[in-house]
């Protein structure tokens, strides 16, 4: 799904706001800091929307705050309409809450922790599953209270390894997070119905924000659970990779995307000898490939994994050298979660890390899982299971005959998808790769948190039952930055009307002349009367810099009033999205022109 549609942003029933530059803080600057590369970062600083306080921490100045309020209001309207209700939980979270869920371990260094004066440990909330599940333990007592969907708009804290790009990845940021509670999966009160409602609400929210986005299938990640979708703003500068099948509409993020049928066989005849090569001091697959006169796609990559069971087993995942192993797909293939093996433990077990090959299965008891593409060749370069050595001429049929005959090799889709891979939905069609910015994420959590924290309720049959949950996040501050990434030109931001801090930028030339002041007051008053938010640049500046700042700030409509336009009975009108110069129009026509321009 994808949308570029916008809806009316004018609340005709309420008066628009009017604000003057001289009465607010808009510290525009000519030069963004040198670490600012992404357009949203550069322009939001240059246009005086945000100012950095520390790494990943920003002041939201008046213009940004107005836009954030507009995004938040759209979110509130759509969440309320979908039957959710707003509350506010604290950012402080006692560490004991994490005892059951172990998310302090899952989050690791991402979690900001602190200690109070009594030595009690606290976390600054990265999200609120623990707090709300704990709250519900005392508050949900009867099956009659279901379903319930609660949300908040609040500051979140994550100690991101690399905070970047201004509001796109902060360490302190604004999130809308919602949590729903159910006793069933299906039916009107079930998780699936609320999940679908949230999917629709998110579609409305991002459509109303004027974003071009896609809803894609996603892995549930550290939050766990059984199903999830991400809402991605389509943007080449985005960090996330999405794979799309145009024919079927299938879209998934790179961690989740399935790959369609690929032909494979163990019976490809050998065409060269197995030869051992000395390959010392070669960091990375590219230098080894070059030394062996091949390319990464002519090599096999064997990753040593460990199952997370009570008595863990070794797993070797084999993919082509230019592909990446996907641990979730390995988990699905073998029916058990895996993690990258600890290097020390793997070495102690006999693996020669960096030089492991599929042949290691003859000396160590392990599960061997191979991606189909790693079988589609007669001759491979791979590790020699000896320090500083690789082999060329490896052939599955000849060199792995015993394992193949013993049924010891499992073949499965275990790698990340990439552009050009066969579509999992339509035979003959391929996946295309796109970039995106994740602005929203919805999960079916199931009973992960209720079981960990002990949230159960007597159901209709008077039986104790773990509550089924869903959770639904939107990056509010990131959404604002994503809008700028999507919509700007060389001169500045081009705000979608619905979330622009104001609708009209009224440039005043000669603001000290009484007749100009009178015309500006009358114009802004009339516009506000029609629900239009007006920003008046009343600074005693020359026209040139004022027009430059108007482009930089990027409000949808620019009006100019000067002694000359007044004399002609006109106001100059220009759309920010339009490259043409501003043109004078009769004063009486202006309000309607603005309303038309701001209409869907
Ligand atoms: P990412 O993969 O980008 O780190 P996430 O998947 O960890 O994000 P969630 O836990 O799904 O994030 O949080 C819900 C939403 O909060 C995300 O969809 C995103 O829009 C927003 N978000 C997450 N981390 C940040 C951050 N560091 N800065 C700004 N917004 C964020
Ligand atoms: Mg996410």
For residue range 84-100, what is the model confidence (pLDDT) as tens digits? 999 999 999 999 999 88
Of 435, 438, 439, the one to substitute when testing ligand 1's pocket (max ligand atoms within 8 A of C-beta) is 438
3-state secondary structure of 308: coil
Of 478, 479, 483, the one to substitute when testing ligand 1's pocket (max ligand atoms within 8 A of C-beta) is 478
Residue 283 maps to which CATH number? 3.90.960.10
Do 204 and 152 belong to one domain?
yes
Do 344 and 478 belong to one domain?
no
d(CA 148, CA 133): 12
d(CA 539, CA 536): 9
Residue 11 has pLDDT above 70, yes or no: no
Containing domain of residue 585, as a range?
502-598
Residue 224 has pLDDT above 70, yes or no: no
Whether ligand 1 lies within 6 angstroms of the CB of 473 is answered as yes
Residue 537 maps to which CATH number? 3.40.50.800
* Pairing assessment for the beta strands 338-340 and 300-307 based on DSSP bridges: antiparallel
Whether ligand 1 lies within 6 angstroms of the CB of 438 is answered as yes
Q: Ligand 2 centroid to 188 CA: how many Å?
A: 26
| pLDDT per residue as tens digits for the range 183-200 | 999 999 999 999 999 999
Poorest-pLDDT segment among 316-325, 401-410, 448-457: 401-410
Indicate which residue's Cα is closest to atom 26 of ligand 1: 169
H or E element that contains 564: helix 563-567
Query: Domain count of the chain?
Result: 3
Residue 2 has pLDDT above 80, yes or no: no
Looking at residues 520-537, what average pLDDT do you find? 96
Atom of ligand 1 nearest to the CA of 230: 18
Indicate which residue's Cα is closest to atom 3 of ligand 1: 438
Residue 1 has pLDDT above 50, yes or no: no
Distance of CA 516 to the CA centre of its chain: 47
Per-residue pLDDT, 223: 44
Per-residue pLDDT, 12: 61
Is there a contact between 222 and 127 (Cβ–Cβ < 8 Å)? no
Do 338 and 463 belong to one domain?
no
Indicate which residue's Cα is closest to atom 28 of ligand 1: 169
CA distances 19 to 23, 62, 179, 470, 541, Å, are: 7, 11, 37, 41, 17
d(CA 137, CA 198): 24
Does 27 reside within a domain?
no
Looking at residues 472-476, what average pLDDT do you find? 97
Q: At 171, is the pLDDT very low, low, confident or very high (cuts 50, 70, 90)?
A: very high
Q: Is cis: bond before 147, omega within 30 of 0? A: yes
Atom of ligand 1 nearest to the CA of 443: 11
Do 327 and 457 belong to one domain?
no
CB burial readout 291-307, b (16+ within 10 A) else e: ebebebebbbbbbbbbb
Ligand with an atom nearest the CA of residue 161: 1
Count of residues in the chain: 600
Q: Where are the beta strands (DSSP E) in 425-563?
A: 432-446, 456-458, 464-466, 468-475, 488-489, 492-493, 504-508, 534-537, 557-561
Of 125, 129, 175, the one to substitute when testing ligand 1's pocket (max ligand atoms within 8 A of C-beta) is 175
d(CA 166, CA 39): 10
Indicate the pTM of the whole model: 0.88
Q: Ligand 2 centroid to 581 CA: how many Å?
A: 43
| pLDDT per residue as tens digits for the range 275-311 | 999 999 888 899 999 999 999 999 999 999 999 888 9
Residue 233 maps to which CATH number? 3.30.930.10
Poorest-pLDDT segment among 128-132, 204-208, 279-283, 474-478: 279-283
Is there a contact between 42 and 558 (Cβ–Cβ < 8 Å)? no
């Amino acid at each position: 799904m994808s949308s570029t549609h916008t809806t009316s942003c004018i609340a005709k029933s309420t008066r628009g706001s009017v604000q003057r530059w001289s009465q607010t803080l808009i510290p525009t600057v000519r030069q963004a800091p040198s670490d600012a590369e992404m357009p949203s970062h550069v322009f939001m600083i240059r246009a005086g929307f945000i100012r950095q306080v520390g790494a990943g921490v920003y002041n939201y100045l008046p213009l940004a705050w107005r836009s954030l309020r507009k995004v938040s209001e759209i979110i509130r309207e759509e969440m309320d309409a979908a039957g959710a209700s707003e509350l506010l939980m604290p950012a402080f979270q006692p560490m004991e809450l994490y005892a059951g869920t172990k998310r302090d371990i899952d989050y690791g260094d991402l979690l900001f922790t602190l200690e109070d004066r009594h030595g009690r440990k606290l976390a600054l909330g990265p999200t609120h599953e623990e707090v709300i599940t704990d709250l519900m333990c005392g508050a949900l007592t009867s099956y009659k209270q279901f379903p319930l969907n609660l949300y908040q708009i609040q500051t979140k804290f994550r100690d991101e390894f690399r905070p970047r790009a201004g509001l796109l990845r902060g360490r302190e940021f604004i999130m809308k997070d919602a949590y729903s509670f159910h006793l069933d999966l299906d039916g009107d009160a079930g998780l699936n119905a609320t999940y679908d409602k949230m999917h629709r609400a998110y579609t409305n929210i991002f459509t109303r924000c004027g974003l071009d986005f896609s809803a894609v299938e996603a892995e549930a990640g550290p939050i766990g659970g059984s199903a999830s979708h991400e809402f991605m703003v389509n943007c080449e500068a985005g960090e996330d990779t999405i794979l799309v099948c145009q024919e079927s509409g299938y879209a998934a993020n790179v961690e989740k995307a399935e790959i369609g049928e690929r032909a494979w066989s163990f019976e490809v005849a050998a065409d060269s000898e197995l030869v051992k090569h000395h390959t010392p001091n070669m960091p990375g697959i590219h230098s080894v490939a070059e030394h062996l006169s091949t390319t990464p796609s002519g090599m096999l990559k064997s990753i040593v994994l460990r199952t997370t069971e009570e008595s863990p087993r070794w797993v070797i995942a084999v993919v082509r050298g230019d592909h990446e192993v996907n641990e979730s797909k390995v988990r699905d293939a073998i029916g058990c979660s895996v993690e990258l093996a600890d290097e020390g433990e793997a070495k102690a077990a006999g693996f020669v890390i960096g030089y492991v090959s599929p042949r290691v299965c003859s000396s160590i008891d392990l599960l061997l899982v191979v991606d189909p593409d790693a079988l589609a060749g007669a001759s491979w370069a791979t590790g020699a299971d000896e320090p500083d050595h690789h082999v060329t001429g490896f052939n599955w049929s000849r060199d792995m005959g015993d394992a193949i005959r013993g049924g010891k090799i499992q073949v499965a889709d275990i790698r990340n998808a990439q552009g050009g891979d066969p579509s999992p939905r339509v035979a003959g069609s391929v996946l295309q790769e796109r970039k995106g910015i994740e602005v929203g994420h919805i999960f079916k959590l199931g009973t992960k948190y209720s079981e960990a924290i002990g949230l159960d309720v007597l159901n209709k049959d008077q039986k104790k039952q773990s509550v089924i949950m869903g959770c639904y996040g939107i990056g509010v501050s990131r959404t604002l930055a994503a809008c700028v990434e999507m919509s700007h030109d060389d001169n500045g931001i081009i705000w979608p009307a619905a979330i622009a801090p104001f609708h009209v930028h009224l440039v005043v030339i000669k603001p000290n002349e009484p007749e100009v002041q009178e015309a500006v007051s009358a114009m802004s008053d009339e516009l506000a009367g029609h629900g239009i938010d007006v920003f008046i640049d009343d600074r005693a500046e020359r026209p040139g810099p004022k027009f430059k700042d108007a482009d930089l700030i990027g409000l949808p409509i620019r009006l100019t009033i000067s002694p000359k336009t007044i004399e002609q009975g006109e106001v100059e009108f220009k759309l920010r999205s339009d490259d043409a110069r501003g043109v004078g129009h009769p004063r009486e026509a202006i309000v309607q022109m603005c309303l038309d321009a701001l209409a869907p």
